[in-house]
Amino acid sequence: MRAGAALWLTSGAILIAALAQAEDWPRFRGPNGAAKAVNAIISLRWSEQENLRWKTPLPGPGASSPIVYDDRVYVTCYSGYGIDRENPGEVAKLVRHLLAVDRASGRIEWTADFPATQPEDTCKGFLAEHGYASNTPATDGSYIYAFLGKSGVVAVDLAGNTVWQTSVGTGSVEPHWGSAASVVLHDDKVIVNASDESHSIWALDKTTGRERWRYEDERLKLAVGTPALVSAAAVPQVVIACPDHLLAISAETGKLVWSAEIPIDDNIAPSVTVGDDVVYATGGLEGGSVAVRLGGQGDVTNSHVLWTSRHYSYIGTPVFHERHLYWISDRGLAYCLRATDGELTHRERLKIKEGAGRAFYASPLLVGDKLLAVSRYHGAFLFEAGPRMALVANNIFQSDDSSFGATPAVAGSEIFLRSDNFLYCIGLPQ
């Protein structure tokens, strides 16, 4: 082999190894909540025998995403109650856990335990589908912040010690589906959608957990999604979709900046998607989607609503890429909408087995030039990131028949998946 070629191969191996550890995934849907890892170089195929770096048993189930910071992966789960839906046990024994996992080996380094504040919602209906650990934590590199529903928001240091724990309400909205929104970090604040617990959006001080501001609004009822943090006219705003309305709140003061009436009814689970100074909302029982231009003040229904569509995602949040919106419906339909006018460019039913509840809870990610979407029981799907969404691969861990309800994390060349039973690390061929 020529010296130049050997040097290139060595340098390439070093570069790939560096990429594997170079990037973090510090919150739900990654940096800025954009669901994008555009520089990632990942394996397109994996199984128990191929490209699996490690697999770590978890002490309980959950639908929260793993997050990655430096040399650790953090994830939440729960135990003590609700593991068996037919015989859930005693709700007083419910405990949530925050785990720190070594990124290289999969070894659990520490676990922080949080007994549930009572009374807690019982394990039935849609709550039983996603459980009691559906809120993805976030980190700034100093603390890990996690929303535990009625048990409040916690900050845990890198050694696993609880720094503070703050209640954001203990209410419960009919039909008692529990909490799912993830925390968002902005400057020195932790922003939390506590719609189920108190019909409120809270901003807590990152260091002390004290309330910095609180936005209360009855319209937040059944607004389940994680707030989107956007900047328009240099004013950071927290944007959230709730039944019939889209709301933008000042991230600095907690005051309402603008609102728009939207044709989306009932509960809204997906988070707002941001792209090209436009916010896109979707969800609802009957369902719909809407695009609203940023930069307004007051009621912007007539001035800033760009389009509406009857196509929608019920649970997963769409990803914005090259002026298109992509998502997989909970029933297993792959969608692509043109973001400029809401026109449908592609819809295709994936070849998945019927039954076993809703097919998809996780949100899709843009990974390099591929779309990654993880189903609950039918493996992970990779598509070309284009309006026709050509299927590239369907990778399944055959030995794990538990639910994969969480959106994955991608950092460098590694993919981190979690099921109710395991946390997985998938890497490049070695």
Least confident of 224-233, 338-347, 377-386: 224-233
Contacts of 182 (CB under 8 A, 6+ apart): 27, 28, 64, 65, 135, 136, 137, 138, 147, 226
pLDDT digits (tens, 9 = 90+) for 244-286: 999 999 999 999 999 999 999 889 999 999 999 999 999 998 8
Least confident of 6-15, 109-118, 152-161, 228-237: 6-15
What is the C-alpha separation between 21 and 229, in angstroms, rounded?
26
| Strand stretches in 103-207, DSSP E | 108-115, 138-139, 143-147, 153-157, 162-166, 184-186, 189-194, 200-205
Would you state the pLDDT for residue 355?
Answer: 57
The amino acid present at 39, given as its one-letter code, is N
Cβ atoms of 412 and 71 closer than 8 Å: no
C-alpha distances in angstroms, 382 versus 4, 217, 328, 335, 358? 35, 39, 12, 14, 19
Q: List, in sequence order, every residue forming a beta bridge with 165; answer none if it has no partner.
A: 154
Q: Closest by alpha carbon to 203, among 189, 193, 217?
A: 189
Would you state the pLDDT for residue 85?
Answer: 87
Q: How many Å separate Cα 387 from the centre of its chain?
A: 23
Least confident of 10-14, 232-236, 339-343: 10-14
* Strands across the sheet containing 67-69: 67-69, 72-79, 95-102, 108-115
Would you state the pLDDT for residue 266?
Answer: 87
Would you state the pLDDT for residue 357?
Answer: 65
Would you state the pLDDT for residue 194?
Answer: 97
Token pair for residue 421?
């039973």
Contacts of 5 (CB under 8 A, 6+ apart): none
Per-residue pLDDT for 20 more than 70? no
Q: Closest by alpha carbon to 178, among 248, 116, 239?
A: 116
Would you state the pLDDT for residue 232?
Answer: 75
Would you state the pLDDT for residue 21?
Answer: 46
**HSE-CB for 243 with a 13 A CA cutoff:** 13
| Strand stretches in 63-177, DSSP E | 67-69, 72-79, 95-102, 108-115, 138-139, 143-147, 153-157, 162-166
Q: Is 19 helix (H, G, I), strand (E, B) or coil?
A: helix
pTM given for the model: 0.93
Token pair for residue 282?
């979707």
Token pair for residue 127?
């709550």
Please measure the distance between the N-terminal and C-terminal CA atoms of the chain and give it in whole angstroms.
20
Would you state the pLDDT for residue 17?
Answer: 41
What is the C-alpha separation between 124 and 109, in angstroms, rounded?
33
Per-residue pLDDT for 293 more than 90? yes
Confidence of residue 178 (pLDDT cuts 50, 70, 90): confident
The dihedrals phi and psi of 353, each to the nearest 5 degrees, come to -75, 140
Mean pLDDT of the chain: 92
* Mean pLDDT of all residues in 138-166: 98
* Mean pLDDT of all residues in 301-311: 97
Cβ atoms of 112 and 155 closer than 8 Å: no
Would you state the pLDDT for residue 41?
Answer: 94
Q: Closest by alpha carbon to 132, among 188, 172, 184, 187?
A: 172
pLDDT digits (tens, 9 = 90+) for 387-411: 999 999 999 999 999 999 999 999 9
